[in-house]
Amino acid sequence: MAGKIEHFILPRASFNEEPKVLIVVAPYYKTIAENLLKGAKAEILASNGTFETVEVPGALEIPTAVGIAERLGKYDAYVALGCVIRGETTHYETVCNDSSRGLTLLGLQGLCIGNGILTVENFKQAEERANPDKQNKGGGAAAAALHLLSLSHKWADNKKGIGFKAD
């Protein structure tokens, strides 16, 4: 159903310098992860960016890897990729909620993150969303990270003084 609805897509972000992006992927569902990666890489390259890719065991480890990379690496933006498919237990809710919450908290600290962790009911939905020729959620996550990075550059260049400034 969602694949048939037309969505507005912002114009591609542009940069004066190559953005360096870290893609963190949980390849639990390998074919889904490969399609998400394909879309993300294409979007980053189309924005004249560079990227590195690291793998983590599952979606719960993605926010931790992003946090470590921010502290120890030199990346401008991050793309989180993975897939959680509903099973028979409440583990689905835990993984979906906690991975999303972790990324949101990092984003609120100022990190530019695109969340491409699919949360779906079945494998067919995951295939539709991951496919770069269909919903291309990997490319969308990369575009989101790059748009946030573009905004952070815009706002960093427009700092306004407020209140008292010491000399």
Sheet of 77-85: strand order equals 50-55, 20-25, 77-85, 113-120
Tokens 């952070």 correspond to 152
Taking residue 28's Cβ as centre, other Cβ atoms within 10 Å add up to 16
Q: How far apart are the first and last CA of the chain?
A: 60
Active-site choice (7, 91, 147, 153): 91
- 35 close to 130: Cβ distance less than 8 angstroms: yes
Report the amino acid identity of residue 117. I
Element spanning 79, H or E: strand 77-85
Residues 6+ apart with CB under 8 A from 135: 2, 3, 128, 129
- 113 close to 96: Cβ distance less than 8 angstroms: no
Active-site annotation holds for 91: yes
* Catalytic site positions: 91
